[in-house]
Structure 1
Amino acid sequence: MPERAAPRRHHPLATAARGVVAAGVAAAVWGTLIERQLFTLRHVTMPVLPAGQGPLRMLQLSDLHLAPWQSRKQRWVRSLAALAPDLVINSGDNAGHEQALFALRHALEPFAGIPGVFVHGSNDYYGPMLKNPLRYLREPSQKSTRTPNLDNEALTHFFMDDLGWLNLNNSAARLTVADSILECVGLNDPHIGYDRADQMAAQLAEVRAEPAAGPVTTLGLVHAPYRSALNTLVDAGATALIAGHTHGGQVCIPGYGALTTNCDLPRDQAKGLSTWQHNRRAAFLNVSAGLGHSIYAPVRFACRPEATLITLVPAVL
């Protein structure tokens, strides 16, 4: 009788290598095809209002990086109007393509008539370009030397004239929302050096020259949460800080979190609610992980795209 062949043995290292490759392929498929489409509404509560006021519901939209063909994202953003927020806060980086304005109009038009405020991010001036993503792990991306190639003026007019939102780029405004008086201060994007604290301070002085009809809550808004920008807003009296830019790290490691914030914000504050302390003052800080990504880096891993419903309630004394 012929001898039976000995059973084939698998080397442990080869088995482990195949497992690593399979896990990598699965992670890549998940991050590029699935998770980046799993839009999520995150809920946050900030106890900052004076006694007897609120609650006040604010919808933060950030980092849409919208491209014309992203119809699923457009539909999801439009659906958020059903939340009927008291205030919409747009923290920048809306455009992900040079022809994004039509898609942005479609996505945001249901919010017309709802009070809103906005600041710009770099991708409201500059369209995306192909870059080495590994550079983000070493240092924040650098200020562009290109000529702006997005129609920022048209975007700004759409926000102000069609939607009725207030422009807070290096500016300040006071508005009454529900039964709360909000003093809103904002900076243009420090990531590209467009922030002008002196302009914001001058506008804030004009706002405060008119006495308020009651207790005031100060909100600070900036796209990129650089330490200096957050400190400037806290010095202006903000007790609630709202920012985007970081994408929550975009690609995170479970149990470790974001690898980078693409600015000098500490990595453990890359997304979500935390506190910011400066000059013996403290403020709540919400950093949105945002809704999009560059069209040249279509991936999210352990960091779902999000909008945030921020509820302001009276401070606990």
Structure 2
Amino acid sequence: MTKRILTTSAAALGLGAVGGTALAAWGHSELNRFELKDLTVELLAPGTLRGVPEFRILHVSDLHMIPQQRTKQAWVSALDVLNPDLVINTGDNLSDEHAVPDVLRALGPLLDRPGLFVFGTNDYFAPRFSNPLSYMFKKKRTPSTVELPWQGMRAAFLERGWLDANQARHEFQVGPVRIAAAGVDDPHHDLDDYEEIAGAPNVDSDLSLALLHSPEPRVLSRFAADGYQLSLSGHTHGGQICLPNGSPIVTNSGIDRERASGLHDFHGMKMHVSNGLGTSKFAPVRLWCRPSATLLRITERPE
């Protein structure tokens, strides 16, 4: 009897190990199964677009680029065919100190379009291995001390015409749409200072945008109170490891699991959280949470 129990237990453990290996292999294969999410948001006053059907915002985030990730680079570069009016990049572009050329290759033609960016901690410091269980207990990981060449990447973004929204406000016009935008540096590791950009957006703007890498409620609340219409963030990876129905187990941020990705309301402000295009090179797996970018079609409100 004892021998039978031991044999059965060993078989169960063996099947569990095989199943775990298969799940990990499948999760790794999901890294290159990119998806484009397509959302329509009614934000503009009637007549703003002057007969144009929509204002297109392409939101990309969390590339976490590693050299030679050619499939990712080609997919992101091909997003230019969507003809976005504005590109928003909400940070964590790097996962390796040699990956800046690869990031620029991926963003390539998109850098020729109007764009705004904020950074995440993994733009400044290289990732490092963390105990996955720490996320279950909402323990914030400590960044490594290995500095990444973010200055060169930032210089390239600026040279191509993108605007740095880290701790900055900007007003500009794209086509018929007058935009007021503000952003903070990564609030997940308290790099932000909202007071530097506090205040309502210009009342003469048609569209007001709030940018932050991590969707931290304490900062989102300030943007919402100031009257911004739409916030854009990333960081969560949509949970990265989700349940079969797509529900995240953790968010690695202060936002609730129900709003870890996608379009939601936050205190009267629309909030879009990207589930991102990459992962840390120390956690190359996604389960029921494919990498994605989002095309936001901003339209006029009904009369």
Q: TM-score, normalised by structure 1?
A: 0.86
Distance 1:96 1:21 in 2: 29
Q: How many residues are aligned here?
A: 293
2:34 corresponds to: 39
Structure 1 unmatched ranges of 5 or more: 1-10
The structure 2 residue matched to 1:160, chosen from 139, 158, 161, is 158
- Runs of 4+ in structure 1 off by over 4 angstroms are 11-22
The structure 2 residue matched to 1:181, chosen from 178, 183, 198, is 178
SS of alignment partner, residue 252 of structure 2:
coil
1:151 corresponds to: 149
**Pair 1:232-2:228 in alignment:** no
Over aligned residues, Cα RMSD in angstroms?
2.1
1:276 corresponds to: 266
1:8 corresponds to: none
Report if the CA contact (8 A) 2:276-2:292 is conserved: yes
Distance 2:112 2:259 in 1: 33
Distance 1:53 1:20 in 2: 58
1:263 corresponds to: 253
The structure 1 residue matched to 2:276, chosen from 264, 273, 290, is 290
1:316 to partner: Cα distance: 3.7
Distance 1:256 1:103 in 2: 30
Whichever of the two has the greater Rg, that structure is 1
Structure 2 unmatched ranges of 5 or more: 1-6
Sequence identity, in percent?
36
SS of alignment partner, residue 269 of structure 2:
strand
Distance 1:121 1:256 in 2: 24
Q: Write the deviation string for residues 87-109 of structure 1: whole angstroms up to 9, x where unpaired.
A: 00000000110111111111112
Q: Which amino acid aligns with 2:147?
A: N
2:4 corresponds to: none
Q: TM-score, normalised by structure 2?
A: 0.90
| Further displaced range: 244-253 or 20-29 | 20-29
Q: Write the deviation string for residues 47-87 of structure 1: whole angstroms up to 9, x where unpaired.
A: 11111234100101100000112111111111111111000
Report if the CA contact (8 A) 2:171-2:181 is conserved: yes
Change (3 A) 1:125 1:271: same
Q: Which amino acid aligns with 1:169?
A: N
1:19 to partner: Cα distance: 5.7
1:311 to partner: Cα distance: 0.8
1:190 corresponds to: 187
